[in-house]
């Protein structure tokens, strides 16, 4: 129980709660460790739990009737998912797949909602997080509408670097390995197109990969290129 409480403190939504408030969350929380490729819920499953990432990386993606994948988000330590469904009943809007070994804190939504009622400051923080997600999705929509593939990929790398990268020697190293297909799915274009643009970026030195396949991003150079 003490371990769960300490881990909750690392999550932004709970970081400023008192011990009493944290104890209320601990009481309804369980811990789950998942292996890579584990799917914790599928698009259309009954929405009954909310997840908080203690360690690892989670891919949130949708599929259409033909099975084509569209990546919605790549989430990391301290983040929550899904961001919808707290104030109504329904189904999960997407699939959630673990990209590496991941530790999650899992809370039933019904009990979580009761906790939100008891502690209004949690509601305020939750609204703030949801507002940030709306702004992020609006930005991505604008990128799809107004920018070509090279600009979209550059903006995607900049966003990933700043939200989920580690700053090392003037560049950002992404925390998760991403395939060319996954990059294409994140900006809604063909894998072949992304592969061609990515090759150009590597030739220009904007993007490289380390020995383990993690992308190294020169954010300053990409921002100047845009």
Domain boundaries of the chain, sorted by first residue: 1-118, 140-224
Question: Which residues touch 143 (CB under 8 Å, ≥6 apart)?
Answer: 151, 152, 155, 156, 187
Q: What is the pLDDT tens value at each position of the chain, 226 positions in all? A: 678 888 888 887 777 777 887 888 888 999 999 999 999 999 999 999 999 999 999 999 988 777 778 888 888 888 889 876 555 568 898 999 999 999 999 999 888 888 888 877 777 777 777 777 777 766 666 665 556 788 888 888 888 888 878 888 889 998 888 889 888 888 878 888 989 999 999 999 899 998 888 899 999 888 876 5
- Per-residue model confidence (pLDDT) at position 41: 95
Q: How far apart are CA 101 and CA 114, in angstroms?
A: 31
pTM of the model: 0.73
- Per-residue model confidence (pLDDT) at position 104: 95
Quickly name the fold that domain 1-118 has.
Jelly Rolls (2.60.120)
Q: How far apart are CA 32 and CA 51, in angstroms?
A: 10
- What CATH architecture is 140-224? Orthogonal Bundle (1.10)
Tokens representing 206 are: 């904007």
Partnered with residue 104 across adjacent β-strands are 32, 53
Asked whether the domain spanning 140-224 has the same topology as the one spanning 1-118, the reply is: no
Residue 216 and residue 172 in contact, taking contact as beta carbons nearer than 8 Å: yes
Residue 226 and residue 150 in contact, taking contact as beta carbons nearer than 8 Å: no
The three-class DSSP label of residue 167 is strand
């Amino acid at each position: 129980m003490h371990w769960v409480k300490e881990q909750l403190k690392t999550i932004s939504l709970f970081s400023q709660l008192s011990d009493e408030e944290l104890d209320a969350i601990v009481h309804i929380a369980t811990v789950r460790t998942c292996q890579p490729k584990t799917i914790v819920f599928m698009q259309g499953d009954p929405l009954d739990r909310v997840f908080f990432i203690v360690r690892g990386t989670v891919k949130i993606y949708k599929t259409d009737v033909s099975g084509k994948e569209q990546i919605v988000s790549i989430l990391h330590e301290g983040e929550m998912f899904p961001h919808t469904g707290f104030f109504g009943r329904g189904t999960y809007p997407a699939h959630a797949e673990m990209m590496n070994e991941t530790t999650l804190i899992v809370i039933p939504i019904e009990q979580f909602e009761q906790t939100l009622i008891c502690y209004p400051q949690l509601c305020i923080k939750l609204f703030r997080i949801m507002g940030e997600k709306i702004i992020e999705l609006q930005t991505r929509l604008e990128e799809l509408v107004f920018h070509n593939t090279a600009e979209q990929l550059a903006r995607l790398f900049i966003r990933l670097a700043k939200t989920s990268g580690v700053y090392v020697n003037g560049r950002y190293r992404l925390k998760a390995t991403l395939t060319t297909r996954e990059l294409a799915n994140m900006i809604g274009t063909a894998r072949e197109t992304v592969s061609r643009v990515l090759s150009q970026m590597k030739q220009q030195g904007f993007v490289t990969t380390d020995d383990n396949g993690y992308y190294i991003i020169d954010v300053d150079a990409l921002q100047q290129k845009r």
